[in-house]
Structures are given as structure tokens and as C-alpha cells.
Amino acid sequence: MSVPLLFATLGALISERAGVLAVFMDGAITLSGFIAIAVTMATGNPLSGFITSAILTTSLLMLLAWFTEQTRANPFLVGLSVNFLASGTTSWLSSHLFGTRGVIALADSGIHWRIPGILSVTAALFVTIIVWWTLTHTLFGLRLSASGPAPQILTVRGSNPARYRIASWGIAGFFAVCAGTILAFNLGAYVPNLSAGRGWTALAALYLAYRKPLPCIAAVLVFSGAEYITTILQGTTLVPASIILGLPYALALLVFLFIPQTESAKKTP
Amino acid sequence: MKRIAPPLVSFGLCILVITLFLAVSTPSPLDTLGRFFSGTFSSWWYLGNMLNTAVLLIPAAIGSAVALRSGSLNLGGEAQLYAPALVTALLLSRIPDTVPVVPVFLAVLLAALATGAVLAAIPGILRVRFHASELLTSFLLSAALIPLLDYLVAGPLRDPGKNLLATRAIPETVRIPPIAGPSSFNLSVLPILLLAGFWALIILRTRSGYRMSMTGTAPEFAVFTGIRTGRITVLGMTLSGALHGLTGFLAVTGTWYTCHQGITIGMGWSALAVALIAGKHPLAIVPAAIIYAWIQISGDNALLSTRVDFDSTAILQAVLFLVISARTIPTIVQFRRKRP
């Protein structure tokens, strides 16, 4: 259950290392989930859904990153616009292609396929270790880490920090795709607002993990645990459902309040 | 012309994109596009509602502009609209008939402003004391509150006499009279236009306005000249919230006469978009709000004749944010990128 969140958090981590807080994660997750489901319904092959979603979402984000660099745009606004774009485009495509703005179920077209839980968990943990190793031990990873707080180091050495920012958006997008497709395939359907605020929880988990890859696992488990508890509470009707909807955001807010911000404050506005 | 070009380009692109979407989604493109471009002018009802939407947007847009001027980005507009609207509807619907109208009206107005102010002050204070990004804190606070407010409106505070997800209607005596009935365009347009002028006057001609602008554009310089940037940041956010609260108040007293779920209709985000498009000149907010309202209302109208039902407002906002982000607040980006 925490696997999508872990992917999302890793994506946000990479983007944040390059200096930009990934506000687009939420929209990217929803959009990629939609594309995956739509393509899977069309072709009957879940893998093609995942690949198409990966290609489209990552390209879109890299295009927007390039646009941001070229026009010196404000990356937060561009990220926000991705969220709106995802919401609007999915509702338009959903209505246009499937005739409904609601739930699009795979089962309706005869596809009953679920990702085995153990597979996704192992994949997520494996990816986390790869991310950690890449960031600390490879040239690409180290340069990426430098491009956020100290891009002049890169320029002095002849690399272009903008390229790393664009790459970071692309990688973050890819992780968002992983998160979105896992969410969608686990449900067996696309529901509007698939991410349900998980993109923002990912950002909070990122700070909870002190912006390091390995502690992300622990942070994600904390948030998933909270989500699990609220799901149980929802069933017992002790707490109204609406409040539970607001909980991811409230939790993320609390994290920001109570985790020391000294180091990160200087890096991200 | 150079100053008008960027907003015109932004709006132009929006219109183009929405036109494309509409054209693809309908079996009769000419009819739909006709509705899009001229439908709003076809009757007083449409026109009045469009103008009313613009009037509602203006205080909130000024709020966003205040925050931007003082160097913050207030993303919590939705809750800063919704909560004061709820407070307004609640308080006004429960006053006894014998109490004099004007003092009550003003008192509730103050309450609404205060509610919005508090909701925005919190992220402001968090930024100054804890260096927490007001971008995230304001958004998260808003996103966390909205489900709660929805619950309150649909649950404990709902009007039991009707089947709507709304609170009890406010009495006739405290409603702002409409001008161009049966549309919602009402007398609030007059004080709002005055407010816009007032804002322009303050920010351009007074010392406090200067301090605020300087805090936003060159914070380090401001500190060196003795301006208390921390206070101004908090003040900017607080005013921003109060102005959003004003929009919420007007939405209840002038337009809907009650607080229903979804009363904000995305105005929190629209206001930010309008403020960003209006850019450096404060008075530009009024025409920007009108044009934006026109695009949104026309889009909604045209949608009615299409086969496809989609969230055109979201696409509108997406395109706008994308286009204007290219030219907005470059100083904030520069400054923040250079931080050690």
C-alpha cells in the first residue's frame, strides 16, 4: 500500500535535489494513471499501458521543464499548471473517449489483471536502493545533487545545470508514472482524483526523511500507516469521511511544522 | 503596447485552446463556438452574471496581488474564500429580525475578513518564524480545511428545510440588492471598484505601499534600508486572506444568499491567475478579471451545447498559469535560486 507513495516520494526527492519542489507530482500521478488505464483498455495489454503512460508523461514533464528553463518561468506555477492540466485533460478525455467523467473500470472490458503485491514491494525497495546509490556514488547523481544548491559548481566544470533540472523533472515524472500505474492497476480502474493528495504527502514524506533516499522508506511507512488507520476509521463511521479526505494534506502540513527546516529552508523557497 | 502584450497573449492562447477543445467535442462546432464568443452578450442574464463573476473575483485577485507584491505566493485562496463565506452565512442567518441591519452587516463583514485573515496569517507567520514555504503551507492548510468545510455545510450546518447542500438562507434585509436582475450583478460593484482604485493608490503612492513593494522585489535591500520585512510578509499574507474573505462575504450576501458546497467555484485559483496576468499595474486587475470571467462563463455556456462534459475551467487555469509563469515574478525566481 505504501509502494505508490514510495515511488512518488523518490521522484519528489530527485526533483528537489535539482532545486525544484515537485508540486506537479499529484497531477502527474493522476494523469499517468489515466493514460495507463485508457491504453490498457484499448490494447488489452497492461504493459503497453504502462509504457505509453511512461513515455507520454515523462515527455510532457521534460517538455515543460525545458519550457521553464528557456523562459525562466516560475517552476512552481508551471508545476501547479500541470496539476490543473491533468485534472482538466483527464476529465475531457474521459468524457470524450469513455462517455463518463467517473470511474473507468478495467473489468468492463474484460481485463482482470493485478500487480502481485510482493512484486511491487520488492521493485520499490530495489529502486530505492538504486536511487540512493546513484545519488551518492555515480557522477550523474552527484552532479544532480549539486545542481540544486550550487549550480555554479556545475557551470565551472563545464556541465549545464539546466539539463540536470530537466532530467530531474523527467525522472520524477517516471516515478510518478510508476506510482500512478500501480495505484490504478491495484484498483483495477481509473477514478477521478486518483492520487487523492498523495503527491503532496510525498513532498511531506520527503522532508520527514530529511531529504535522503533511504529514510524515505521509513517516512513512507509512517504516512501509509496513518492512511491505513484512517481507512479503518472510515469503516467504523467514527470519523466523517470528509475529514479523512483532508487528512493527507493535514498530515503533510504537520510534518512541515514540526520537522526542523533549517537546512532545507535555505535550499527551497 | 509592450506592457499589454503579455496579458493579451496569455488570454489569446487560452481562448485558442478552449476553442480547440470545444470544437473537437461537439457535433456542431459553429453553433458551440458561436455560443462561446457571443453567448454572453445575448441577454442581460448572461452579461450580468459574467460581470458579477468578475466583481467577485476582483477582491480576491487584489488579495493575491497583495501577497505577490510583498513577496509571497498565497495558494490557500480556496479556503480563505470558503470559510468566511460559511461564517457569513451562519451568522447572518441566525440574527433575530429586531436587530438593526447596518451594524450587523458590518460586524459580520469584519468577522468574514478576520476569518480569511487568520487563515492566511498562519502560513505567513510560519514562513517568517520557521522558514516554511508559504506556498506549501497555505495550499496544504486550504486543502485540509475544504473537506471539513464541505462536511459542515452538508452535515451539521445544513438547512434542514431544504434538500440542498447549503446553509439556511440569509434574511432579505441583509442581502445586497441586485442591479440587473434576474442576474446576480449587484450593488457591490461600486465599493469594489473603489477598492481597486484604493489599492492602486496605496501601493503606488504611499510609503507603506513602497515598503511592501520593496519587500517583495528586493528583500535584502529592504532589510538594509530598515524595512521590517518579516512584519510586511505577515501583513501581506494577512491582507491577502482578508480580501479573499471579502469575496467570500460578497458571494453570500450578494449572489447566493447562502453558503453551499462548492461556493468557491475555483475562484481561489482564478483570483491568483487574474492577479498574475494583471502583473505590475494594480488597476489592470479590473479588466483582467472581466476578461477572465468572460472566458470562464462563455466556456461553461458553450459546454452546454456540446456532447462532452469536461472541466473547462481547469484547462483554462492550466493554460493561463503556464503562459504567465513565463513572465511573472522573475525577481522572486532569481532571488530564490541564488540563496546559498
Interchain pair A77, B328: CB under 8 A: yes
Q: What is the mean pLDDT of residues A11-24?
A: 78
First to last CA, chain A: 31
* pLDDT score of B118: 93
> Alpha carbon of A41 to those of A105, B6, B284: distances in Å?
9, 42, 48
Amino acid at A9: T
Interchain pair B144, A203: CB under 8 A: no
Interchain pair B139, A67: CB under 8 A: no
Q: Which range among A25-39, A186-200, B39-53 shows the weakest confidence by mean pLDDT? A: A186-200
> Alpha carbon of A117 to those of A54, A189, B94, B278, B304: distances in Å?
21, 17, 54, 50, 44
Count CB pairs under 8 A between chains A and B: 160
Cβ pair B31, B25 in contact under 8 A:
no
Angle at B105 between CA B100 and CA B110, to 5 degrees: 135
pLDDT digits (tens, 9 = 90+) for A151-163: 777 777 777 777 8
Burial of residue B285 (CB within 10 Å: 0-12, 13-18, 19+) is buried
Cβ pair B274, B285 in contact under 8 A:
yes
pLDDT digits (tens, 9 = 90+) for B262-289: 788 788 888 988 888 887 788 888 888 9
What 3-state DSSP class applies to B166?
strand
Closest Cβ–Cβ partner in A78, A84, A246 for B144? A246
Percent of chain B with pLDDT over 90: 14
Nearest CA to B249 among B95, B84, B111, B117?
Answer: B84
pLDDT digits (tens, 9 = 90+) for B1-27: 455 666 777 777 777 877 777 777 666
State pTM to two decimals. Answer: 0.82
Cβ pair B62, B235 in contact under 8 A:
no
Which residue on chain B is closest to A97 by alpha carbon?
Answer: B308
Domains annotated for chain B, with CATH where assigned, are 49-297 (1.10.3470)
Q: What pLDDT band is residue A240 in, cutting at 50, 70 and 90? A: low
* pLDDT score of B302: 75
Residues 6+ apart with CB under 8 A from B95: B104, B171, B174
Interchain pair B322, A257: CB under 8 A: no
* pLDDT score of B64: 92
pLDDT digits (tens, 9 = 90+) for A216-231: 777 788 777 777 777 7
CA atoms of B70 and B66, how far apart (whole Å): 6
Residue of B18, B311, B332, B337 to mutate when probing chain A, most A C-beta within 10 A: B311
Q: What is the ipTM of this complex?
A: 0.77
A109 DSSP assignment: G
Residues 6+ apart with CB under 8 A from B65: B199, B275, B278, B282, B285
Using a CB–CB cutoff of 8 Å, tell me whether B189 touches chain A: no
CA atoms of A201 and A247, how far apart (whole Å): 10
Burial of residue B202 (CB within 10 Å: 0-12, 13-18, 19+) is middle
Q: What pLDDT band is residue B307 in, cutting at 50, 70 and 90? A: low
Enter the C-alpha cell of residue A76.
512552481
Amino acid at A119: L
* pLDDT score of B241: 93
CA B244 to chain CA centroid, Å, is 6
Interchain pair B133, A95: CB under 8 A: no
CA atoms of A176 and A29, how far apart (whole Å): 5
pLDDT digits (tens, 9 = 90+) for B244-269: 999 999 888 888 888 888 788 788 88
* pLDDT score of A114: 62
* pLDDT score of A212: 74
Amino acid at B32: T
pLDDT digits (tens, 9 = 90+) for A97-139: 776 666 666 655 555 556 666 777 777 777 777 877 777 777 7
Q: What pLDDT band is residue B116 in, cutting at 50, 70 and 90? A: very high
Q: Could you tell me the residue ranges of all domains in chain A?
A: 3-267
- Radius of gyration over alpha carbons of chain B, in Å? 20
pLDDT digits (tens, 9 = 90+) for A56-67: 888 888 888 888
- Per DSSP, what are the bridge partners of residue A105? A189
Q: Which range among A172-176, A256-260, B102-106 shows the weakest confidence by mean pLDDT? A: A256-260
* pLDDT score of B333: 42
Percent of chain A with pLDDT over 70: 84
Mean pLDDT of chain B: 80
Q: What is the mean pLDDT of residues B198-221?
A: 84
Which of the pair, A259 or B290, is modelled with greater confidence? B290
Enter the C-alpha cell of residue A146.
549539486
* pLDDT score of A266: 43
Q: What pLDDT band is residue B332 in, cutting at 50, 70 and 90? A: very low
Interchain pair B318, A84: CB under 8 A: yes
A158: left (phi over 0), alpha (psi -120 to 50) or beta: left
Residues 6+ apart with CB under 8 A from A54: A32, A174, A177
* pLDDT score of B338: 43
Q: What pLDDT band is residue B335 in, cutting at 50, 70 and 90? A: very low
